[in-house]
Amino acid sequence: MTSNGASSTSSTSQPVKILMLHGYTQSGPLFHAKSRALEKALSRSFPNASFSHPTGPRRVRSADIPGFESGINNADGEVAEAYAWWQRSNTGLEYIGIQEGLAKIAETIREEGPFDGVVGFSQGACAAGMVAALLEGKMRIQGFERAEKGGGLPYPSSFRKTTDTAELIQSPLKFAIIYSGFAAPSELYSGFYDPPITTPMLHFIGSLDSVVDEGRSRKLVEACAGEEKVVVHPGGHFVPSQKAFLETAVGFVLETVGGKSWQEVGEEERVEDMEVPF
């Protein structure tokens, strides 16, 4: 699913394509609704921005949701409009259906990309980190080859242009924005994080997040190379929509895509006298 951002005051006319990855028990349309404030803020600086909202391939049943008590199941016991990119095994270490989930994302890249960046929330943020890593080229493929020798996941064939080539479905992403993200905990998935992810990444962590605590989010931060860019907001498990946090995200994209420093962002597009919190 693709939606175009509304035009308003512009910092750059450069077209920007952004892949939006929803969280566990959400869907593409639902994440679009929950991230409208972010998309609107980005569209003020990039009036030619477009946003793609794929939906994970796995339908989620109420039994798969801890603490689920509502009666919104359909006849098959599935929760209405609840999807996932993968599901955890009973041990919590293995991601069931991860290749299928990544293939769905790769299909979106082929059909609607190439993308400049990715935004992910919760499970979608974990997936966003994986996608950023997978598109980093030869060094990443070699990392997966080393991991596979130790029993790790092989490099997903869906991210290759063809099955018999090292050429990937697109060039590396310019940025990733991570909300309530985390790294896959098992050594099975070490290929995503070794070598460290080099794609510029901005992490938002909720100080009151009881679903993905700060320790889990920090594992993904630690898996990234370069300067840490972390924003801790005084909220829980959601995409913060306060102006300060929206403009921090916009400033990050302007730096990575638009080639502007934070100081060059117009006063009408940021919080007055705000300092970027990283």
Of the residues 53, 209, 217, 233, which is catalytic? 209
Q: Is 253 helix (H, G, I), strand (E, B) or coil?
A: helix
Whether residue 122 lies in the annotated active site: yes
Indicate the Cα dihedral angle 157, 109, 130, 61, nearest 10°: -90
Question: Please, are residues 46 and 253 in contact by the beta-carbon 8 Å criterion?
Answer: yes
* Class of residue 14 by CB neighbours under 10 A (exposed 0-12, middle 13-18, buried 19+): middle
The partner residues of 20 in beta bridges, in order of sequence, read: 119
> Would the CA dihedral through 205, 172, 43, 254 be positive or negative?
positive
Q: Is 209 helix (H, G, I), strand (E, B) or coil?
A: coil
Whether residue 237 lies in the annotated active site: yes
- Cα 138 from Cα 160, distance rounded (Å): 11
- Cα 87 from Cα 91, distance rounded (Å): 11
Of the residues 43, 45, 122, 180, which is catalytic? 122
CA 5 to centroid of chain Cα atoms:
18
Any idea which residues carry the catalytic annotation? 122, 209, 237
